[in-house]
Amino acid sequence: MKNVRMILVGFGTVGRGIAKVMELKKNKFAIFNINPRIVAICEYNGCIINDAGIPTQGVLKLAEERRLESHKDWKNLKSLEVIKETEADIVIEVTPTSLETGEPGTSHMKAALESGKHLVTSNKGPLALHFKELNDLARKKNVEFRYEATVCGGMPTFNLVRKTLALNSIESIQGILNGTTNYILTKMHNSNLSFEVALREAKEMGIAEANYRYDIEAIDPAAKLVILANAIMGKNVKFSDVKRVGIDKITTEAVQLAKKKNFVIKLIGEISKDRLEVVPRLVPSIHPLNVPDTLNALLFKTDLAREVLVVGRGAGQLETTSAIFSDIIDICTSVS
Amino acid sequence: MKNVRMILVGFGTVGRGIAKVMELKKNKFAIFNINPRIVAICEYNGCIINDAGIPTQGVLKLAEERRLESHKDWKNLKSLEVIKETEADIVIEVTPTSLETGEPGTSHMKAALESGKHLVTSNKGPLALHFKELNDLARKKNVEFRYEATVCGGMPTFNLVRKTLALNSIESIQGILNGTTNYILTKMHNSNLSFEVALREAKEMGIAEANYRYDIEAIDPAAKLVILANAIMGKNVKFSDVKRVGIDKITTEAVQLAKKKNFVIKLIGEISKDRLEVVPRLVPSIHPLNVPDTLNALLFKTDLAREVLVVGRGAGQLETTSAIFSDIIDICTSVS
C-alpha cells in the first residue's frame, strides 16, 4: 500500500468535496493500492497542517461553521510557504479561478511544480493563460501536471483522450463547453422563453452565478477551448486567438424559427484545422451535440476510433471531485 | 525505453489491423516510452517467430496473398505451444469468437495467463462464458487481463470506467451494444422499410455478416452485457441469466406508430438492480441513447460524476485496434 501525501490548496466547494469524498470512499482506495491522506489544507488566511493526515469530518464541520481558524492544527502560514515546504507527493490546487490575472492559482501551481510535487487542479484560469509555461515546468521537474477537472467538470475529457484513445491522433474537437448557456438555450427552445427570462430563471436556479457574463459572452467556454487546444491538440494558442460570440443577442424568434426547421441553436466550440471558435450555431435536432439543459458534450474526430462522443455533467461538487480523483489515482498507479 | 514483446494470436481482420497500426504509428510509441515488437504471429496452421521482431509490411503482404506459410520464419508449431514457450510480455488474442464453445480463444487465454503473460483480447466468446475463471487466473498469476475491444469496438468502455471514472460506483448501465441491429432499426424508422428489406440492405452493405442471427436475436449484445455486468458491476452472471428479445418480430407499423409519437424503437441493453436484459424498447426521440446507424452507445449512472454517456463505433478494423492499443499502452505504463 502506497502512502500518498496531499496538500489541498483552497477549501471552498471543490476543496470540501475532496474532503467529503475522501471520507465517503475511504474503503475504495485500497483497490488501487493507495493510502491517501491530506497533510495540509490551505486557505487564504492560514492553513491546517498535520503530517499524520487531517481527519476530514472535523475539518468539514469547522468549515461549515466558518471557524476553520479554531482547528487545533491551524497555523498562520501563507499557502506558498506551505506548498514549498511541506513534504508531500501531490498538490491539489482548487482556489477560485481568475481569467484576468490567473492568481492566486498560477503562483500556487508554479510553487508546487518547482518544489517537485505532482499537481492536480480544477482551476482553469492559470491554464488558459499559462498552459505552455506550466506544462514545460512540469516536464523539466519530471512531475505530473493534471487538470481533468478544468474542462467539463465530471465529464471525462483529458483522461478519455490520454487513456482510452491513447494511440489516436485527434483531428478535431467540437462541443458544448458551458452548462449555463446550454441551459438558457434549452429553455428558449423548449419553453419559448426570451433570453432575458431564461437568464433570470437560470439565476434563480443557481445555474447562472454572479459572474454569469463570463458564460453568456462565451468567455468561460473560450478559456476551456484554449486548454483543450493546447493540451490535446498540441497547439500553442492564446485566449485572444479564439473567435468568440456570446448568446445574449439571440432572439426568441431565431430560436423558434430554427425549431420549426428541426434545428436547435447551440453555443458550439470547435478546434479544427481552420477553426478556433466558440459561436452560436444551428445544429440539426438529431445531431449528437444536441444535448439538453446543463449537460456538456464533446465530439472527438480521431484517426483510428473515428468519432467518439462523450456527454456529462460540466459542474457540481461531487462531479468535479470525480475528475480530480481520476487524476490522483492515475498519478499514483502510473510509472513515473 | 521499455521493450515490449508481443505474441499475436490470430491474423484475420483484427490481427492484421494491429500489424498495420504498428507500422502506421511507429513514431508515436516513443511518447509512451515503449518500444513494442511482435515476436510471434500465430495462425491456425502454424506460426511465424522472430525474437528480433517480425517486420509488419512483409507479413501483411503475404497474408493478403494468402501465403503466410512462405514466410522465412514460418514454423509448423501449434499456437498453444508458442503462447507457452515464447518469451514475451503480452499475448494479444484476436481469433474468431465462438459463443458456443469459446474455443480456441479460451485455451489460448488460459495458456497465456498460466505462463505469466499479460493478456489483451478482442474475443468476447471466452469472456462471455468464462469471465470469472479467466479473471481469477490473471489475479493468481499477477498479470493483467484486458478486454477493451470485446465490447463496443473502438468506443471507450472498460478503460473509460477504469481510468476516467476510477473512484465512482457504477449504479446502472444502459445502452446500444450492437451496430447491425441499430442500423436495421434506423432504416426501418427513417426510410419506412420492413425488417426484411432493412436486413437485406444491411447484408448488402456488409454490415450484417454471415452470423447475422447472432445480432437480430440479440445473442451478440447479450454476450457483451454479461461481460459488462461481470467486469464493471462486479456481478457473477451467465449468458442464460440475460432476458433476451430479438428485433425480427418488429413490424414497420410499430416503428412508424412510435415515430408519429416522437419515439424510436431501439434494442436496449440494461444492467441495473432489477434488470439484466437486452430487449427492444420505446425510447423518446430526444433521448441520448437515440443514436443512428451502426453507432453504439452506453449511458453509465454513477454516484460521483452522475450520468456519463459515450457514443462511438462498435466495429471496424482500425476502431478495434484503437481499443487494443489503449489496453497495451496502459499495461506498459501502469505500476504492476
Listed residue (A258, A311, A308) closest to A285, CA to CA: A258
* Residue of B163, B290, B319 lying closest to A306 (CB–CB): B319
- DSSP type of residue B53: -
Predicted confidence (pLDDT) at residue B263 exceeds the cutoff of 60: yes
Please compute the mean of the pLDDT values over residues B37-63 and round it to a whole number: 96
The active-site residue, picked from B203, B224, B238, B266, is B224
Listed residue (B9, B6, B309, B334) closest to B160, CA to CA: B309
Mean of per-residue pLDDT scores for chain A: 96
* Residue of A25, A148, A305 lying closest to B322 (CB–CB): A305
Please compute the mean of the pLDDT values over residues B39-51 and round it to a whole number: 97
A284 touches chain B (CB under 8 A): no
Reduced 3-state DSSP string for chain A? CEEEEEEEECCCHHHHHHHHHHHHCCCCHHHHCEEEEEEEEEECCEEEECCCCCCHHHHHHHHHCCCHHHCCCEECCCHHHHHHHCCCCEEEECCCCCCCCCCCHHHHHHHHHHCCCEEEECCHHHHHHHHHHHHHHHHHHCCCEECHHHCCCCCCCHHHHHHHCCCCCEEEEEEECCHHHHHHHHHHHHCCCCHHHHHHHHHHCCCCCCCHHHHHCCHHHHHHHHHHHHHCCCCCCCHHHCEECCCCCCCHHHHHHHHHCCEEEEEEEEECCCCEEEEEEEEECCCCCCCCCCEEEEEEEECCCCEEEEEEECCCHHHHHHHHHHHHHHHHHECC
Q: How far is A78 from chain B, CA to nearest CA, in Å?
A: 31
* Residue of A32, A159, A309 lying closest to B312 (CB–CB): A309
Q: B215-239 burial, b for 16+ CB within 10 Å, e for fewer?
A: bbbbbbbbbbbbbbbbbbbeeebee
Distances (CA, A) of A254 to A196, A258, A268, B19, B198: 14, 6, 16, 52, 38
Angle between helices A179-190 and A195-204 (to 10 degrees): 130
The reply to whether residue A288 touches residue B304, judged by beta carbons under 8 angstroms, is no
What are A99-143's pLDDT values in tens digits? Answer: 999 999 999 999 999 999 999 999 999 999 999 999 999 999 999
What are A35-44's pLDDT values in tens digits? Answer: 999 999 999 9
pLDDT given for residue B335 in this prediction: 72
The reply to whether residue A307 touches residue B291, judged by beta carbons under 8 angstroms, is no
pLDDT given for residue B286 in this prediction: 85
**Is residue B182 classed as helix, strand or coil in its secondary structure?**
helix
Cell numbers standing for residue B306: 452522475
Contact A326, B160 (CB under 8 A): no
Angle between helices A124-141 and A105-114 (to 10 degrees): 10
Predicted confidence (pLDDT) at residue A6 exceeds the cutoff of 60: yes
A323 touches chain B (CB under 8 A): yes
What are A235-293's pLDDT values in tens digits? Answer: 999 999 999 999 999 999 999 999 999 999 999 999 999 999 999 999 999 899 999 99
pLDDT given for residue A336 in this prediction: 55
* Residue of B166, B285, B309 lying closest to A325 (CB–CB): B166
pLDDT given for residue B209 in this prediction: 84
pLDDT given for residue B5 in this prediction: 98
The active-site residue, picked from A141, A224, A243, A249, is A224
Q: How far is B236 from chain A, CA to nearest CA, in Å?
A: 19
A312 touches chain B (CB under 8 A): yes
Predicted confidence (pLDDT) at residue B336 exceeds the cutoff of 70: no
**Is residue B81 classed as helix, strand or coil in its secondary structure?**
helix
Tell me if residue B224 is catalytic. Answer: yes
- Residue whose C-alpha cell reads 517486420 in the numeric block: B55
> Which of A18, A159, A167 is the best substitution to test chain B (most B C-beta atoms within 10 A)?
A167
Please compute the mean of the pLDDT values over residues A311-326 and round it to a whole number: 96
Q: How far is A44 from chain B, CA to nearest CA, in Å?
A: 27
The overall pTM is greater than 0.95: yes
Cell numbers standing for residue A329: 489515482
What are A47-86's pLDDT values in tens digits? Answer: 999 999 999 989 999 999 999 999 999 999 999 999 999 9
Q: Taking CB atoms and an 8 Å cutoff, what residues of chain B touch A301?
A: none
What does the alpha-carbon distance between residue B267 and residue B284 come to, in Å, rounded to a whole number? 13
What does the alpha-carbon distance between residue A54 and residue A58 come to, in Å, rounded to a whole number? 9
**Is residue B62 classed as helix, strand or coil in its secondary structure?**
helix
Contact B312, A306 (CB under 8 A): yes
pLDDT given for residue B189 in this prediction: 97
- Beta strands A46-49 and A34-43: pairing type? antiparallel
The reply to whether residue A335 touches residue B330, judged by beta carbons under 8 angstroms, is no
The reply to whether residue B164 touches residue A164, judged by beta carbons under 8 angstroms, is yes
Q: Is the ipTM of this complex over 0.90?
A: yes
The reply to whether residue A319 touches residue B306, judged by beta carbons under 8 angstroms, is yes
Report the 10 Å Cβ neighbour count for A123: 26
Distances (CA, A) of B258 to A50, A103, A241, B190: 62, 55, 47, 12
Helix (H) or strand (E) holding B90: strand B90-93
Q: Is A307 left (phi over 0), alpha (psi -120 to 50) or beta?
A: beta
**Is residue B279 classed as helix, strand or coil in its secondary structure?**
strand
Please compute the mean of the pLDDT values over residues B82-88 and round it to a whole number: 98
